[in-house]
Amino acid sequence: MGTVYLAIGIHNHQPVGNFDFVFEDAYQRAYLPFLEALERHPGIRVAQHYTGILLDWIEKHHPDFLERLAALVKRGQVEMMTGGFYEPILPIIPDRDKLGQIRKLTDYIRDHFGVSPRGLWLAERVWEPHLPRPLREAGVEYVVIDDSHLKYSGLREEDLSGYFLTEEAGYPVNIFPIAERLRYTIPFRPVEETLDFLGALAERGGSPLAVFADDGEKFGVWPGTFKHCYSDGWIERFFRALEENSSWIKLVHFSEALDTLKPAGRVYLPTASYREMMEWALPAKAIHEYEDFEARLKESGLFDRYKPSTTSSFWRNFLAKYEESNHLHKKMLYVSRKVKDAAARYGDVEAVLKARDHLWAGQCNCPYWHGVFGGLYLTNLRYAVYHELILAEEKEIEALERRGETSWVRKEELDFDGDGHRELIVETPVLNLVFSPQHGGSLVELDYKPTAINLLDTMTRREEGYHRKLLQLAEQKKSGGGDGVASIHDLLAVKEQGLEKKLVYDWYRRVALIDHFLNPDTTLKAFSRSQYGEDGDFVLEPYTFETKEEGGLVTVELRRKGTVWAGGAAHPVELQKAVTVRPDSQELDVRIRIKNDGQDSAKLWYGSEWNFALLAGNAPDRYFEIPGRSLRQRHLASTGAEPDVEEIDLVDEWQKLKIRMRLSPQAEVWRFPVESVSMSEAGFERVYQSSVVLPLFRLDLEPGQVSEIRIRLIFESLG
């Protein structure tokens, strides 16, 4: 038997906004028992990466853990790796933020563990060719990424038993390729399979290097892994096997490999992430085609040979796949520019430093994408990132620039979301509004600054590639089929029965100020499921816009001349929406004018849709109120239709906020929840996203007649 070198890396992370009990559960089930296992086996040497978010939490709740980890570092058993402090996808944030985030975590490691990390954990292993320069400028000598990255460059399995060198503009970085085979055997397969893989490498001769690096949560947090790893003893067997075979398996740190082993060569990598991530970034239909193609390769016994040639997508396509991800990303870039400009004007004063840290926290990657983890679909993660971004621009930057001024307004026209069309931004001390004239004249962001929340932070219900598996699973259960499998990438657990019946797909983005003209046969149930007749052409079409200032008021006017089909005829209709804000007010005043531009009378059924995202649909401290009425169900996930409504309120006692919607004239009001069916670590689940409030008005317009509607939103603090 020859010798094989083995480098092990463990990445530990919890996102900004995750619940405290989730941190604690992960600590007790994964981080602590893994540390204890290392303490019992001093011969096991690993590199470890903890995100700054997690380190901050551990320092606050379990400071003794850091002392024990520092002892392992001091005796050379653990090598610490750096990264972006708040675990951003590095390629998609500005270079100034890349450098700042990496240096922040490097400084933390130096201060708490007395070492300067030489390597970096690349979040989600998202690689783009420009990365070597900022990495090297931040002091990074190596990164650990998947072997698939190198295979996409044409290297073969037998070429990958070592590390490689790459560069950008003369800035070199070393690349350690993670063996995909080890990601699937550790810890899901018997220890002997890992030993067989390493033995096959050793038999080749030439001091090969094998790399395993993956999430620490797979050792205790992923479904079934705590029992498997600790109660059933997989970790103990694995560590003992490495110790017993230390004569030919040489455990090394990545930095030691740099110092003692020669690189296997130079390589230039394409845009890539791990193989599953690149599949998740595809549109749903493309995922189906990719899965079918992959299945055919497996049936033919050709998959292992040709899978490097079956590249699919890359991470940035999440920004095309999900409008919500793109909006969040562009909001982050918008705030980053504000922080940069403030730093240029004022230097690194305290407000700028605090704003920068809020910005960096708002770059945490988890709510920007979605695969088999909840990610983008989890309201608490999206809320937390928006919260940090709003704090950066409102609490720190605006406070610095406005210096106590309480009555001001700022307007800006720019292509905010990168779609080639101008959006309109209006900012006051109380509200941030982002209008999208090109997309139905809708309001796509509404930030309430006193609580730093985007009240329109919801998700459109769309088809996901894995929904096909949910439908298949439902059919299997009908016929007595089995349950899920061990690896999270193939998990088919279902958290509630009948979820397949909840699959609903929207044909437009659910935001606010959306203009509907409904078919007379439309029911609340049909509308809530996006299975109804839309008789107007206003929802998706462009509006013209202008802004006016008068008497301290700012009014945004959005206008469209379109068509409504009613009574078997097409009626030309002009719709104008005027949204007025007061610089010192907590009110939003919307006036809607609908004019029959045709030669015939028209009976129209108009609705203005608003999606309010208050995080919890069934919590007792979040509910609807209609003054003077008792609602049979009033939680935010309730469904109902109320006639002759003058006011409907959404109350959020947790955030101490009440949203009053006052209507003139009275309207019938429909309400219902937007609930997605998505995948998470625990399987398929239903997630409350927002509450739709739809005031409906019956209009009977003669030729040339105008109907006027007023909707006032009043934001009231509860304490």
Strand stretches in 600-705, DSSP E: 602-612, 622-625, 640-652, 657-680, 683-701
Predicted pLDDT at 650: 97
> What 3 state SS string does 202-247 have?
HCCCCCCEEEEEEEHHHCCCCCCHHHHHHHCCHHHHHHHHHHHCCC
- How far are the Cα atoms of 235, 525, 544, 559 from residue 554, in angstroms, in the given order? 64, 38, 17, 16
The predicted structure's pLDDT at residue 484: 35
From the CA atom positions of the chain, what is the Rg in Å? 28
Phi, psi of 201 (to 5 degrees): -65, -45
pLDDT of residue 265: 95
User: If you ran DSSP here, which 8-state letter would residue 31 be given?
Assistant: I
Question: For residue 304, which amino acid is it?
Answer: D
Give the amino acid at 526.
A
Burial class (CB in 10 A: 0-12, 13-18, 19+), 610: buried
**CA dist., res. 3 & res. 26, Å (int):** 36
Each residue of 217-267: pLDDT tens digit? 999 999 899 999 999 999 999 999 999 999 999 999 999 999 999 999 999
Cα 719 to Cα 712: distance, rounded to the nearest angstrom: 22
Whether residue 97 lies in the annotated active site: no
Decide: pTM greater than 0.85: yes
Which pLDDT score is estimated for 264?
A: 94
Whether the bond between 129 and the residue before it is cis, its omega within 30 degrees of 0, is: no
Counting DSSP H helices and E strands in the chain, the numbers are 22, 25
Q: For the chain, list residues with pLDDT below 70.
A: 1, 306-312, 479-492
Residue 317 DSSP symbol = G
- Count of residues in the chain: 719
Domains present along the chain, CATH in parentheses: 4-273 (3.20.110.20), 467-502 (no CATH), 512-717 (2.70.98.10)
Question: Rounded distance, CA 81 to CA 118, Å?
Answer: 7
Catalytic residue selected from 124, 279, 357, 388: 124
Whether residue 215 lies in the annotated active site: yes
**Which of 193, 215, 584, 653 is the catalytic position?**
215
Render pLDDT for 641-694 as a digit per residue (tens, 0 to 9).
Answer: 999 999 999 999 999 999 999 999 999 999 999 999 998 877 889 999 999 999
